[in-house]
Amino acid sequence: MSGQPASGDPPCFLITDGEGGPVSDLADSIEEMQLGIGEELLRYARAMHADPKVPDREFRFLSRRLAEALGDALRVARN
């Protein structure tokens, strides 16, 4: 997963009658997982910035993961 939707991908909406359901519950749990991943990456980023000995390649790896997490968060926010 690149963290970026393919060009021209339509938005994804889940419409419910307010009662939830299995698909709505699954979507909610996936969103919670994505938020958890983003929070964990943010903790790593803050710790890495505090350590002057972190190699550049670790920052590049973290940067890619943060971009993926931000892409997921933006996709959820837009939909």
Give the structural domain span for 70.
Answer: 52-78
The rounded distance, in Å, linking the Cα atoms of 18 and 54 is 48
Q: Domain count of the chain?
A: 1
56 assigned to some structural domain: yes
4 assigned to some structural domain: no
3 assigned to some structural domain: no
42 assigned to some structural domain: no
Both tokens assigned to 10: 């339509």
- Tens-digit pLDDT profile for residues 31-74: 888 888 889 999 999 999 899 999 999 999 999 999 988 888 88
Stretch (H or E) spanning 8? none
> pTM higher than 0.75, yes or no?
no
